[in-house]
Amino acid sequence: MSNSFGTLYRITTFGESHGEGIGVVIDGCPAGIKLDRAFIQQELDRRRPGQSRITTQRKEPDTFELLSGHVDDLTTGTPLAFWIPNRNVRSRDYDHLAQAYRPSHADYTYQVKYGIRDHRGGGRSSARETAARVIGGAVAKLLLRQISDIQIHAWVQQIHHIQLETEPTSFELTTDYAFAVKCPHPPTAEKMYHFIDQIRKEGDSVGGVIACKATAVPPGLGEPIYNKLEAALASAMMSINAVKGFEVGSGFSGTFMRGSEHNDLFYMEGERVRTQTNYSGGIQGGISNGEPLYMRVAFKPTATIMQDQPSVDEAGNPVVLKGKGRHDPCVVPRAVPIVEAMAAIVLADFMLLQKARTIN
Amino acid sequence: MSNSFGTLYRITTFGESHGEGIGVVIDGCPAGIKLDRAFIQQELDRRRPGQSRITTQRKEPDTFELLSGHVDDLTTGTPLAFWIPNRNVRSRDYDHLAQAYRPSHADYTYQVKYGIRDHRGGGRSSARETAARVIGGAVAKLLLRQISDIQIHAWVQQIHHIQLETEPTSFELTTDYAFAVKCPHPPTAEKMYHFIDQIRKEGDSVGGVIACKATAVPPGLGEPIYNKLEAALASAMMSINAVKGFEVGSGFSGTFMRGSEHNDLFYMEGERVRTQTNYSGGIQGGISNGEPLYMRVAFKPTATIMQDQPSVDEAGNPVVLKGKGRHDPCVVPRAVPIVEAMAAIVLADFMLLQKARTIN
Amino acid sequence: MSNSFGTLYRITTFGESHGEGIGVVIDGCPAGIKLDRAFIQQELDRRRPGQSRITTQRKEPDTFELLSGHVDDLTTGTPLAFWIPNRNVRSRDYDHLAQAYRPSHADYTYQVKYGIRDHRGGGRSSARETAARVIGGAVAKLLLRQISDIQIHAWVQQIHHIQLETEPTSFELTTDYAFAVKCPHPPTAEKMYHFIDQIRKEGDSVGGVIACKATAVPPGLGEPIYNKLEAALASAMMSINAVKGFEVGSGFSGTFMRGSEHNDLFYMEGERVRTQTNYSGGIQGGISNGEPLYMRVAFKPTATIMQDQPSVDEAGNPVVLKGKGRHDPCVVPRAVPIVEAMAAIVLADFMLLQKARTIN
Amino acid sequence: MSNSFGTLYRITTFGESHGEGIGVVIDGCPAGIKLDRAFIQQELDRRRPGQSRITTQRKEPDTFELLSGHVDDLTTGTPLAFWIPNRNVRSRDYDHLAQAYRPSHADYTYQVKYGIRDHRGGGRSSARETAARVIGGAVAKLLLRQISDIQIHAWVQQIHHIQLETEPTSFELTTDYAFAVKCPHPPTAEKMYHFIDQIRKEGDSVGGVIACKATAVPPGLGEPIYNKLEAALASAMMSINAVKGFEVGSGFSGTFMRGSEHNDLFYMEGERVRTQTNYSGGIQGGISNGEPLYMRVAFKPTATIMQDQPSVDEAGNPVVLKGKGRHDPCVVPRAVPIVEAMAAIVLADFMLLQKARTIN
């Protein structure tokens, strides 16, 4: 259960960073969805390591095999299984970590929870698992494409102190941004890129914020009390490695407003009920209202840094960890397709769920 | 499913604001837990309306009936059902809303999702449902008390622009704070109280932030990938009415730090592995590390205000909504026990789950 | 979880035989279903004790209160809660059982599982819990009535050695049978009735078989591998008190046939694909094929008898149990509406699930 | 969800008969279980086709790859994934079935449910999926071996009219029976073998009954109301291809007994509460009582026969199906390890669940 996500459209992932590979089973995808392999690969490529100087130098082609669930790339309603073999494994980089706990990693907690762990590259706790999510999200997008007009776009809104100041709606949201930082505003992106590169040279790391918007979401998605749309999205996003915060609509900044400012007033746009503002972020009472979904996700700075750090080992002895191995000085750019994937999985799930909630 | 929360310790709530009452079924509570009725009532009283000038004037005693699941107030392992009858219902206050959509409420979204809604007092979408959560949380606390040393405390950290500046750890956390705003720092609490009262007089509303801390959480709680401890907590908190944001540990502020600052360095405190800082908020890789859990929850300003607002009705006609009825100018103080309750439910659930995850 | 059944149409029951009462929460019932209270009461009356000489003399009116989930008896999509207060409780009848284990009851297993039990009338393990199922099934029938033409009928096919020999299809299936044994063939019913009455006088008990048929089930219901329609039905029926066996279609008798006899050959009836025989019982590969669902459920003889029986008490001492209290010499007739209810819940659940499984 | 089984110990299977292969993800297996690869292979070999003249001549080595979840064959608590590539695929045998519906197969129901199907070898509906269950069961047995003394044995009790008349307890239950029919009584096994071989020569098929016994099951397993031990076992067994009936303890034959005969009287065997008889089949009130679990599973005759049969095609035209391809004249012997596997999965799941149900 801990490795599955979703109710009716459900992904189950498996695999480790330095094991045989990473896989995902997608159960509940309806029959008749065209599996566009090029699109799925393109989504994986957006997350793939080794894209530029500011990402880890691990070179993984991340090419997938489709093991089941289709006839001639058309889904049959049976579970889809995908498999990405690991290629560029350098486990010896991690030999010195067999006993030591890296700070702000999952080494200690896995050890105390399970009494055993695969220390190579973080094992199961590695962000390599997110490749499986990206596939789950790519298929969800293909499903959404066939049953709705929903469009999902995420982008980097902040890297450390560098913020995207202008309204994100004024940019053309796309999947291919300049400067490999996936910020839609080129001058800001350039600043972010050079800042990350500088941090990399210092052997340090930074975090940031990803914003995500979904348009053309039909009103009515989400459950009213515990499986609220924002609760499902929060659970999805908080399950991504390094995420420490989530907000929807006005989020934390809305706490500085008054009700008379914050209320989204209804009006009619032709036949359609709209709101004049969207502090609600497209969700009211746990249910989509037809306005764009808008959320923000906070990523902490990467825990792996290229600096010496004191720690302890499994026996409780003090050790000094040397900064070694390959890593990302900032995971935020590579996390953009992951945020989109999790949003797509949630929306696909709720689209199916909503069909079961109505009698007509 | 949408009205249930939890896996092994599971609550299912039912009832409406102006219907017969509100109820909760608690399934999965182990046998042998002493049901301290006075404690449960005390928890309900912390959430109860009509406590002071700054909360809604609806007078509900919120006294509960225990319908099943015990022998002489000792749990038997069978489902506990609690029932809180509604007493002080003034549904006529809502007659003018039968057709109109209140801004930033769930009126429109329920109508579009279900094609029918109980407009009286918000029906199911009313925060009155949270009384049921408080009972679920009170029983979870009683369970935690019997199987652990876990202590959970939430408090008001921010009301609009008024922040609790000092370290919350320097206060004695309790369940009974001065000034009815549930902020542990009396001078700050007094400022908050008067500000809310002022806002009330203006017919307006404000929001704020609740912080929550759980101490003595054993390391090892939480699932590694999708049912991460922070993901479950996020889902729990984002399911509370008016919540727009959630963060754990450093949260959004951590995005302004470098890895070398943010990493929580391990050291030994006797036999125990500790961290020097706690930017992780007590969770690493989805699993508790033994440090205090720390999280923050953002509440938007109450949608109901005592001012005229333009809106539309079900037929799409423009209407003007008059500010009428009883409401809270700020829901944050009354939400403190709700945040604690949801945290308790999550922790009780993971304590049970962890027992099933180990073979010894 | 152990007290809930169903995925999208889900019931959660609570309450004990000699506690305050019995309740059920129905979550997932779509909005817009007309709650016919008279029909629900009529279904309860079919299960009610004290109907005739051959059922327990406990007199329970089994009148229900509807606590939530509707506006003017029209469902709103929010959880329905029903409550049946216990009236005719004679707990003193059970005082002698506080320590002793009744044979073939759940006394010993509850004690060993939970370390505590409500011994009065069997507590939670009493068949009184099935009143809650009947309500869950009644609402499911009302839902099915609005979204399909499905008709569900169960009847007594065997009491001890007395079998209904003729084809059940030759009778008009109804909800109101002569002789209180709910067998559609009056001469057989009369025999059954007098046999049960004779057994009652001897202080003994008997069991039997209930058959159940559902017609106009659309093809396509059921999941292909683990949530097969027959698996869900088996789980539903085996969860009823005293049930020891389940079969669908040819069942155990099909093991005496050859494939060439047993295969249900397809043919066209106009536009519709039909089968010449129905040994499959309306299900192939876990999925309904449009033929009538047909299943049979085996009930053991009632464990409570009016005879002295040796047993042991909690301390391990030998005791002799006296036959006391009120009981049914044969539970089978009263179980007919329960079998129908569980079938209705399964079918309602799968009707909703199937909507979520298709993209058109 | 439809391709997953279990709550805490959960298998998710994928793959098709004539696709790339068959796989299973096992989630929830605790850390520290020794994965005995030879044992897992041995379990697969018991199910493997091509073992003798009376099973299908498809030659599949059924060798598995272990893709994740372990360090040096010790489980780490992360999901185990297994993969069995298909080798001996002769899909052309099925070309004539692309449009036609085979009687009593899932061809028609898959077509009507999904609108598309993989007709080659039955696609997902093929019993080849059960190889994945056998792996799930083998790991469950390894888990049970480490945390309990539970032993699970299934055997063939009936093939068509040939019954094992003597008490099965009088045989030494094993995993390796003579005559490939997996009946523990050699003379009966020999009769069964020759009968199946005769049926095979006639191009026909037969079914039968498998009995299954689990010993040393600790009392207390099972949930009291809807997830009763017998309900979970019934769901597990009824999900196996070709199964039409399930009974526990006295089952259908118990309906011919009186309560005074059927009640299992308690007595003390030293410190242990025992019953004199075991008509309950080791389960009372949904919970194990410490006596051996005993259940029986009915298998219909194989639907595929080597005889011409009339049918219809997708367009509704009458067709004659020729008996072609490779098949089992009787699936019952090969289903013995599958029945054991499903029993092991249920018991492993309930062993873990029971740990979460108690506070000590």
- Closest chain D residue to the Cα of C220, Cα to Cα: D113
Taking only the tens place, the pLDDT of each residue in A212-243 is 999 999 999 999 999 999 999 999 999 999 99
CA distances D61 to D41, D105, D211, Å, are 10, 25, 27
Taking only the tens place, the pLDDT of each residue in C135-152 is 999 999 999 999 999 999
Distance CA A74, CA B79 (A): 45
Coil, helix or strand at residue D225 = coil
**pLDDT on residue B28:** 96
Alpha helices by DSSP H, C129-288? 130-147, 186-201, 229-238, 259-262
CA distances A38 to A60, C218, C243, D19, Å, are 17, 38, 54, 21
User: Nearest CA to CA, how far is D282 from chain B (Å)?
Assistant: 21
- Closest chain B residue to the Cα of A232, Cα to Cα: B235
**Chain A residue numbers touching B128 (CB-CB < 8 A):** none
Size of interface C-D (CB pairs under 8 A): 365
Q: Which of B159-173, B276-290, D269-283 has the lowest mean pLDDT?
A: B159-173
Touching chains, C (3+ CB pairs < 8 A): A, B, D
pLDDT category of residue D55 using cuts at 50, 70 and 90:
confident
- ipTM of this predicted complex? 0.96
Residue D103 has pLDDT above 70, yes or no: yes
Residue A176 has pLDDT above 70, yes or no: no
Residues forming a β-bridge with D342? none
Residue B156 host element (H or E): strand B151-159
Q: Under a CB-based contact definition with an 8 Å cutoff, are residues B164 and B185 in contact?
A: yes
Q: Which of A344-348, B98-102, D9-13 has the lowest mean pLDDT?
A: B98-102
Residue B332 host element (H or E): helix B332-356
Average pLDDT of chain A, as a whole number: 92
**pLDDT on residue D215:** 96
Residue B85, number of CB atoms within 10 A of its CB: 17
Expressed in angstroms, the distance from the first to the final Cα of chain A is 32
Distance CA B343, CA B154 (A): 9
User: Nearest CA to CA, how far is B199 from chain C (Å)?
Assistant: 34
Distance CA C186, CA D109 (A): 38
Q: What is the DSSP string of B45-65?
A: HHH-S-SSTTS---------E
Q: What pLDDT tens digit does each residue of chain C (360 aa) get? A: 589 999 999 999 999 998 999 999 999 999 999 999 999 999 999 988 767 777 776 677 889 999 999 999 999 999 999 999 998 766 666 666 668 999 999 999 999 999 998 878 789 999 999 999 999 999 999 999 999 999 999 999 999 999 998 766 655 666 667 678 999 988 999 999 999 999 999 999 999 999 999 999 999 999 999 999 999 999 999 999 999 999 999 999 999 999 999 999 999 999 999 999 999 999 999 999 999 999 999 999 999 999 999 999 999 999 999 887 667 899 999 999 999 999 999 999 999 999 988 886
B33, B78, B356: residue with CB nearest D355: B356
Touching chains, D (3+ CB pairs < 8 A): A, B, C
**Chain D residue numbers touching C113 (CB-CB < 8 A):** 219-220, 222, 224, 287, 354, 357
**pLDDT on residue B172:** 61
User: Nearest CA to CA, how far is D71 from chain C (Å)?
Assistant: 30
Residue B107 has pLDDT above 90, yes or no: yes
**Chain A residue numbers touching D23 (CB-CB < 8 A):** 25, 67-68, 81
CB A356 to CB C78 under 8 A?
A: no
| Rama region for B224: left / alpha / beta (φ>0; ψ in -120 to 50; rest) | alpha
Q: Which domains does chain D have, with CATH numbers?
A: 4-356 (3.60.150.10)
A238, A249, A289: residue with CB nearest B231: A238
Q: Name the interface residues of A facing C (CB cutoff 8 Å).
A: 8, 28, 30-33, 77-78, 143, 146-147, 224, 352-353, 355-359
Measured CA angle at D73 (ends D82, D175), to 5 deg: 70
CB B30 to CB D357 under 8 A?
A: yes
CB C28 to CB B117 under 8 A?
A: no
Distance CA B130, CA C26 (A): 19
Of B112, B198, B115, B125, nearest to B162 by C-alpha is B198
Average pLDDT of chain B, as a whole number: 92
Of C204, B291, A76, B195, nearest to D263 by C-alpha is C204
Residue B94 has pLDDT above 90, yes or no: no
**pTM score of the predicted model:** 0.96
Distance CA A100, CA A320 (A): 9
**pLDDT on residue A90:** 65
**Chain C residue numbers touching A358 (CB-CB < 8 A):** 30-31, 355
CB D244 to CB C247 under 8 A?
A: yes
**Chain D residue numbers touching B28 (CB-CB < 8 A):** 356-357
User: Nearest CA to CA, how far is D188 from chain B (Å)?
Assistant: 41
CB B244 to CB A250 under 8 A?
A: yes
CB A78 to CB C359 under 8 A?
A: no
Look up residue A335 and give its two tokens.
């996390």
Of D246, A338, D21, nearest to C298 by C-alpha is D246
Q: Name the interface residues of D facing A (CB cutoff 8 Å).
A: 1-4, 7-8, 10, 12-16, 19-21, 23, 25, 27-28, 31-32, 65, 67-69, 71, 74, 76-81, 83, 113-118, 123-124
A199, A232, A264: residue with CB nearest B104: A264
Taking only the tens place, the pLDDT of each residue in D138-156 is 999 999 999 999 999 999 9
